[in-house]
Amino acid sequence: MARILNEQEVQAIIEAEKILIGRGFESEGSTGGANAALVKAYLELNTGIPATVTNILAAVEAMKDRMAWKSSAEVAYNSVFGSLSEIDKGSFAAWWFKQKQVVILGNPGYENAVKLLNWCKGRAVSATVLDQAVSNLAGSRDGLHWTAKRDQIPQGRPARAGDGPPEAFMPKDQHPDQLSGKHRHSLDHDEKKETFATKLDQNEAKWKEMSEAKLASGSHHSMRILREVFELGANGSQSWANTFRQLAEIVKNQSRV
């Protein structure tokens, strides 16, 4: 017989989940479903143990090696991005996918986003302000992760041999480099995008521009899946026309929730 939780236990599970998400616990997609299944199994097998916040956190700690977790870089990004106003989120997203100088994928991308948004604190986020952030951070010791193919960055700084290739960013089920159930080498992934981009005709280029605008209009809660769909167009897996239609459908459905 399935365990029947009382109201206090349900609230405890909700509170524990909030705490765990803040620590990087994966709660969405297939990996999030697998994590939830482990917690559910614990509750079903331990009916004599009250489902309190403390007990749930302790159970997850004991099972943490069997669970999926976000990287510390992604946790930091979610915290910083989540603190922005909706206007600033949209401004950042629109600039992020148009600029070609800093890596936007994987942990390097998360780290770039956090550094740029932290620099912007106290300012309204805009393309101008973000370009200034790139210029200022370019010479800092901490620095940014640069794309391999950039020509130069603001203030005329040339590409350097030590800047390194792009790596993978932004959501997984979270991570686009895990789409189709397999990892793709980050450099191959970027080169595929470069090759595909050079072959865009004017019509596809317009669909790409519309896709970028639609991506920027998404809510924080739907941004993960929007980025995954956008990535399918960026890496050439599907046309920008199909990408735009899928993005539009997701945005339309989010407005009904």
pLDDT in tens, 4-22: 888 999 999 999 999 999 9
Which residues pair with residue 102 across a beta bridge?
146
Q: Are residues 154 and 78 in the same domain?
A: yes
How much is the pLDDT for 220?
A: 61
Look at residue 221 in the predicted model and tell me its pLDDT.
58
Looking at the domain assignment, is residue 170 inside a domain? no
The pTM (predicted TM-score) of the whole model is 0.55
Q: What pLDDT shows up at residue 17?
A: 93
Torsion of CA 239, 164, 80, 217, to 10 degrees: -20
Identify the domain boundary among 46, 66, 86: 66
The answer to whether residue 16 is domain-embedded is yes
Structurally, how many domains does the chain consist of?
A: 3
pLDDT score at 36:
92
Distance of CA 230 to the CA centre of its chain: 12
pLDDT of 150: 53
Q: What is the Cα–Cα distance from 208 to 203, expressed in whole angstroms?
A: 9
Position 249 in a domain? yes
- Provide the domain limits for residue 83: 73-163
Torsion-angle region of residue 68: left (phi > 0), alpha (psi -120 to 50) or beta? Answer: beta
In a domain, 105, yes or no: yes
- 29 assigned to some structural domain: yes
What pLDDT is recorded for position 28?
82
* In a domain? residue 131: yes
Q: What is the pLDDT of residue 145?
A: 93
Q: Examine residue 217 and state whether it is found in any structural domain, yes or no.
A: yes
C-alpha span between 202 and 180 (Å, rounded): 29
Residues 77, 120 within the same domain? yes
Q: Is residue 116 part of a domain?
A: yes
Q: Are 45 and 5 in contact (CB under 8 A)?
A: no
Beta-carbon neighbour count of residue 199 at 10 Å? 8
Segments in the chain below pLDDT 50: 151-198, 257
